[in-house]
Amino acid sequence: MGTIYNLIIYQPLLNTLIFLYKTVAFGDLGLAIIFLTIIIRLVLFPLFQKSVEHQMVMQALQPKLKQAQEAHHGNREKQSQAMLELYREHRVNPFMGFLLLLVQLPILFAVYHIFLKSFTPDVFKDLYSFVVAPAALNPMFLGLINLAKGSTVVVACAAIAQYIQGRTSLRKLAPGEEVSSADRMARNMVLIGPAITILIFYRLPAALALYWFITSLFSIGQQAIVNRKIADGKLGNLHTKTH
């Protein structure tokens, strides 16, 4: 499994980063990380888009799911049947979010693996023969931020971007609608997510926080696309707004 991971995920991403560093990034590691993040998100755009769409439809379905549970209170079989019917009607799979997360995890792990090794002597040992290794990686981003060390500025930007993405993913509750446990959890995560980002990245190389910042910006854009599709009734037969 480790060999497959190295050949299919880790090495291609590492070699792409070094290639970008020596060419279009003009020896700026920060720009190379930004370009690599953009490439990753473009390649995985359909997967991330599906994940965001699934999350939004599941959020919007919560009131109907709760109604189905209350309508068949005490009868688990009918509750399950009613919920499955809602899933079919709105073209969602309750397990899809978990499956999409599993697909994304190896890539996220590889990115962290690369950036953590970027400042160690053996970073170039996995380069392809046709990718020429630079003498060393300059950790400075635009000559201002040392990506080999923690950066309060970059971590703060990553946390803010994640907060904005979280806010745009919340559905607007109907007047008088009771907040479900799922909605309450989603609203709590809007604050908890950025706090976790700060705790995780504060002492890690800023290269990691820069990657997270750029990928969060991408997520904001994808969330806007999904919100528009739902508002236009083009996703899961739902008409809803976000707040």
Question: What is residue 180's predicted lDDT score, i.e. its pLDDT?
Answer: 64
What's CA 6's distance to the chain center, in Å?
22
Residue 20 phi/psi, 5-degree rounding, is -65, -40
Question: What is residue 83's predicted lDDT score, i.e. its pLDDT?
Answer: 76
Let me know: does 129 contact 188? Beta carbons within 8 Å: no
3-state secondary structure 134-157: CCCCCCEECCCEECCCCCHHHHHH
Which of 49-53, 167-171, 204-208, 236-240 is modeled with the greatest confidence? 204-208
Stretch 166-180: mean pLDDT, rounded? 71
Alpha carbons 94 and 201: distance in angstroms, whole number: 31
Question: What is residue 105's predicted lDDT score, i.e. its pLDDT?
Answer: 79
Question: What is residue 211's predicted lDDT score, i.e. its pLDDT?
Answer: 92
- Residue tagged 């399950």 (tokens): 80
Please state, for a pLDDT cut of 70, what percent of the chain lies above it: 84
17 vs 242: which has the higher pLDDT: 17
Q: Is the pTM of this model over 0.85?
A: no
| 121-169 tens-digit pLDDT | 777 888 898 888 888 788 889 889 999 888 999 999 999 999 998 888 7
Let me know: does 56 contact 171? Beta carbons within 8 Å: yes
Stretch 44-49: mean pLDDT, rounded? 80
Q: Is the pLDDT of residue 239 over 50?
A: no
* Residue ranges of domains in the chain: 2-231
Please state, for a pLDDT cut of 90, what percent of the chain lies above it: 24
Number of Cβ within a 10 Å radius of residue 225: 14
Let me know: does 186 contact 169? Beta carbons within 8 Å: yes
180 vs 192: which has the higher pLDDT: 192
Alpha carbons 157 and 93: distance in angstroms, whole number: 34
* Average pLDDT over the chain, rounded to an integer: 81
- Residue tagged 């995780």 (tokens): 200
